[in-house]
Amino acid sequence: MTFGARVFSAIADRGPFCVGIDPHGALLRAWGYDDDVAGLERFALGAVEAVAPYCGVVKPQSAFYERFGSRGVAVLERVIASSREAGALVLLDVKRGDIGSTSQAYADAYLDPASPLACDAVTVSPYLGFGSLTPFVDTARKHDAGLFVLVATSNKEGPEVQEAVAGGRSVSGTMLDHLRRLNADAVPLGSFGAVVGATLEDDRGLDLAFNGPILAPGYGEQGGTTADLRRIFGAGAGNVLASSSRGVLRLGPDPVAMRDAVRRANDELRGLQG
């Protein structure tokens, strides 16, 4: 089953809420843990146990594990495996982007089932040119995995690149054109998605109704609302994975509180479907 089919099913079955499992040092301390590998392990696996059985997608941010070196990456491997065992898809937030053999090595690390870091999809940056992502695209197709390409992010620096005009088209609009071509004729949904912030002031003139999933970080604690998702994405809102980390994790280490927060978010977001 392609990633597009899996994520379409996950949204329908479990809801469109995506939980970021991001072990900030401040969150570890708020849970009563030390900001070390032991605290990381207790925090991350506790979060997985609380939320992964109840949401369609979890999104670990790789950097918060990598900061502990090889022992932190070993925890990330367990987070990926345990989340998938609980029935959640794993979108690894790595935002990789390079060229040639290096790009292929990244793709193999995250998308090849032979790798201990293999997951369902990854975030990637296209700003070395969309063609630089070809190894990721080919590897994703080979292993029925997915990609989420940075298109319109909500950080204040983003527009200087993403809204630049080349050949009469904004760079972000060109990225969406590439995604449309990759997802052409895919049923029920393409495997190549876009990252578009849930806190954008407007849709930046982009046609965001395309045949692929959309990751919308910034929902909840960072200010993005269901009304914002409807305003920004319009007819494409049904394919949006609204992502939040702190809004759920700050309720820990209480697993019931985290689980209930996931359920409430999914209930609210289901209003975007259909």
Q: Which residues are catalytic?
A: 95
Helix (H, G, I), strand (E, B) or coil at 2: coil
Tell me phi and psi for residue 200, to 5 degrees: -65, 145
Beta-carbon-side half-sphere exposure of residue 261 (alpha carbons within 13 Å): 26
Q: What is the DSSP letter of 120?
A: S
d(CA 54, CA 266) in angstroms, rounded, equals: 9
Beta-carbon-side half-sphere exposure of residue 136 (alpha carbons within 13 Å): 30
Quick one: how far is CA 187 from the chain centroid? 21
Q: In this structure, which amino acid lies at residue 32? A: G
Closest CA to 194 of 248, 130, 245: 130
d(CA 163, CA 271) in angstroms, rounded, equals: 30
Tell how strand 169-170 and strand 89-96 pair up. Answer: unpaired
- Cβ atoms of residues 229 and 198 within 8 Å: yes
Helix (H) or strand (E) holding 37, with range, is helix 37-51
d(CA 139, CA 233) in angstroms, rounded, equals: 29
Beta bridge partners of 121: 91, 146
